[in-house]
Amino acid sequence: MQTNLEASGMIEFFKVLPNLFSGGVYLTDPKSGQILFSNDFFKDNLGCKKPGKDCLESDLLAWVFKDDKEAFLEQILSPNKRNDREQIVGDYRFQMPNETLVRWFQFEKRKVNIPGMDSVLDLVFVRDVTNEKTNEINIVEQIQFFLGLFENASVGMALQDWEGGYFRINPRFTEITGYSFQNLTDLNIRRIKGEPISDEEMEYFSFFKEGVEESRLTRKDGRRINVYRRISAFRNSQGKPDFYYVFLDDVTEKKQLESYQLHSQKMETIGSLATNIAHDLNNYLQPIHVFSQLGKEQITLGKFDQNQILDYLEKIRMGADNARSMIHRIIHYSKTKNEHSVSKIDISSVIESTIPLLVAGLPKNVEAQFDFYKSPLITKVDVVQFSKILCELTSGGIFVWDDRKRGLVQIQTQPMDEVRLLISLEFTGLSLPSLSELTTLDLVNFRDEDFQWTGIHLINRYVKNWGGEFYLDKPDPMTLKVFIYLPLEESIPLHNPYKMNSETKPKDVWSEISKKKIWIVEDDEAASETISFVLSQKQINPKVFSTSTSAIQYLNEEIPDFVLSDYRLREMSGLVMIRKIKQVSPGVSAVLYTGNMDGLDAEELSKEGILVRSKPISVDELYESILLSFGFL
């Protein structure tokens, strides 16, 4: 055999072959199983190392991994497999001596006809494919791992083609939407065919648009749920999407929980606000209760000092005025529309109206003090936004309060010069870490891009939009000052929608008014008696109605000259009633008073000859409103 190989020149071929092939090569006789020739790679990695002995191909079986022995024996070593096939290829694991890791080798066996020989030999190429197989196994394991995550994920997942059809969804996706894979497939087929489908069903074919959003989704059973969805596209080399990955989560319960928590926070704030209001109201009621009781005791005993009684009455009036003013401010603040509307306003009154909310938002260890300028400081601001700014600055969301010590915020209003006013806030008791961040900032005048604290740059922008300036100052390590400068406007003139009488005013205007027909429409008996008593001091004997219907019916008897009515009446609102009266007598004067001005446009109503006043209406305000209505002011 060796002689024949040399004679045929094949030995030269096998000397050259290793240079042409990087792997192992060996030649074997299929009848005897003897390895006739092998290159160095094969000898170094798999070759038989039996000195002085012939190596057999079956010797390789000793190194084949136990799970692959049967396949290697059948595919590579079995003569029957080679009789009917020109080429055999297979991958097999080998556990080599002194090696802990398993190696993969690919065997490719081909028939070779040698010139001058009757028998056919086998030429075998051996490649080390360990790296390729390891990568392949890793990929398979990753795919299996991904499929496991996909199928068992707690969120809905789906794969969708570029036309919107689903080709894989997980069980959670079915639970969330109520649609099975077959349902969605049928829907897509109906859609492609142009068959009618509902708007709710069409929602699922809008999911293949890329992006992230929270939206409402209609389930198959018709129930609306809140969902969070994220859609990512897998694109081809041309940049076009091949398919989409859809991530879907039901956040309905989360939204409900957030809503509940928000409601709880609101209720907590309302409770804190109500506590502060009750505290202030008790302070205002205290002199009313005490001095009315003292005055009654002196009058009952018949021994009283007139000056002292007058002093008691003045203290009672001051307490009532304070309570009335507080209620007006709260109503005004709570019913102001949350819109960006700039208007002229006394800045001190804005801060006063904000006090209940501001105090309610302060931590328990922080006190607020206020010092308002005695005269009005008129400027143009968005009232609601300015109140929010005060609450944000003091609540601890921007400047963090130190809960281990007492804190204080002092708020002051004052004029700076002829064109500017100042609102200053001085903080003590803030957290030192939050203050330390200010050391790197321009504390005199900063720009938006220089100041990155959440909310502060927006506050600065609002103040600039109002024509003002915003400054910070840190006079010492424990103190922070905020300065808000705003343009100082001229005083607001009193708007009188009613024309002055061109005739000379009578000397006794109340004598003239007492001759008019005055109506009072009020469903609260105590309130109507009080107003009637106040008017009787001016010799006015009003006609009192407890319902709007009875007032309308009395139009058949007389036409009033003036109507004073509560807004909220049981049968018909006071505004509707006044407008009905004006249909009969357009020139009638009217005052509408209410404790809730929500939905009432005082400026527009004044054009109709209807003055709007807030409850409780004071004596002076009542007299002033009547004089305005008849043109005596």
Report residue 509's pLDDT band, with 50, 70 and 90 as the boundaries: confident
The better pLDDT of the pair 448, 517 is held by 517
State the DSSP H helix or E strand holding residue 272, giving kind and residue range, or none if neither.
Answer: helix 252-301
Q: Are 256 and 225 in contact (CB under 8 A)?
A: no
> What is the rounded average pLDDT of the residues 613-631?
83
Q: What is the pLDDT of residues 429-483, one digit of tens each?
A: 887 655 555 544 444 444 444 444 556 778 888 898 888 998 888 888 788 899 9
Q: Are 61 and 73 in contact (CB under 8 A)?
A: yes
The better pLDDT of the pair 132, 119 is held by 132
| 3-class DSSP state of 567 | coil
Which residues, listed in sequence order, are joined to residue 576 by a DSSP beta bridge? none
Q: What is the pLDDT of residue 117?
A: 65
> What is the rounded average pLDDT of the residues 122-126?
89
User: What is this structure's pTM?
Assistant: 0.38
Please tell me which of 230-239, 298-307, 410-419 the model is most confident about, judged by mean pLDDT.
Answer: 410-419
pLDDT at 408 over 90: yes
Span of 490-499, 500-509, 520-529 with lowest mean pLDDT:
490-499
Q: What is the pLDDT of residues 560-610, one digit of tens each?
A: 999 999 988 877 888 999 999 999 988 899 999 887 666 677 778 888 889
User: Could you tell me which of 482, 362, 506 has the C-alpha nearest to residue 424?
Assistant: 482
- Name residues whose C-beta falls within 8 Å of residue 99's C-beta, 6 or more positions apart in sequence: none
Q: What is the pLDDT of residues 309-359, one digit of tens each?
A: 888 888 888 878 777 777 766 665 555 444 456 778 889 888 887 887 788
How far, CA to CA in Å, does 16 sit from each of 5, 10, 19, 116? 15, 10, 6, 21
pLDDT at 489 over 90: no
Quote the Cα angle for 100-103-109, to 5°. 150
Quote the Cα angle for 448-451-455, to 5°. 85
pLDDT at 502 over 70: no
Tokens of 593: 């008073």
Q: What is the pLDDT of residue 631?
A: 83
Q: HSE of 283 in the Cβ direction (CA atoms, 13 Å)?
A: 7
> What is the rounded average pLDDT of the residues 498-517?
67
The better pLDDT of the pair 249, 616 is held by 249
Residues 360 and 276: their CA atoms lie apart, in Å, by 7
Strand spans (E) along 162-272:
166-169, 211-218, 224-235, 241-250
User: Could you tell me which of 45, 117, 47, 104 has the C-alpha nearest to residue 72?
Assistant: 104
User: Could you tell me which of 435, 413, 415, 416 has the C-alpha nearest to residue 424?
Assistant: 413
Q: Indicate if the alpha-carbon torsion angle 40, 46, 51, 57 is positive or negative.
A: negative
Per-residue DSSP letter, 101: S
- Name residues whose C-beta falls within 8 Å of residue 265's C-beta, 6 or more positions apart in sequence: none
Q: Indicate if the alpha-carbon torsion angle 453, 456, 460, 465 is positive or negative.
A: positive
Quickly list H helices, 302-346.
306-335
Residues 327 and 277: their CA atoms lie apart, in Å, by 9
Mean pLDDT, the chain, integer: 79
Q: What is the pLDDT of residue 436?
A: 56
Q: What is the pLDDT of residue 329?
A: 62
Q: What is the pLDDT of residues 203-215, one digit of tens each?
A: 666 655 677 888 7
Q: What is the pLDDT of residue 496?
A: 42
Q: Are 621 and 629 in contact (CB under 8 A)?
A: no
Q: What is the pLDDT of residues 11-66, one digit of tens each?
A: 566 555 555 677 888 888 888 888 888 888 888 888 766 655 678 888 899 889 99
> What is the rounded average pLDDT of the residues 269-286?
72
Report residue 498's pLDDT band, with 50, 70 and 90 as the boundaries: very low
Q: What is the pLDDT of residue 519?
A: 94
Of all residues in the chain, the percent with pLDDT exceeding 90 is 14
Q: What is the pLDDT of residues 75-110, one digit of tens each?
A: 888 866 555 557 888 999 998 877 788 899 999 988
Quote the Cα angle for 341-345-347, to 5°. 115
The better pLDDT of the pair 383, 272 is held by 383
Beta strand 378-382 pairing with 342-346: antiparallel
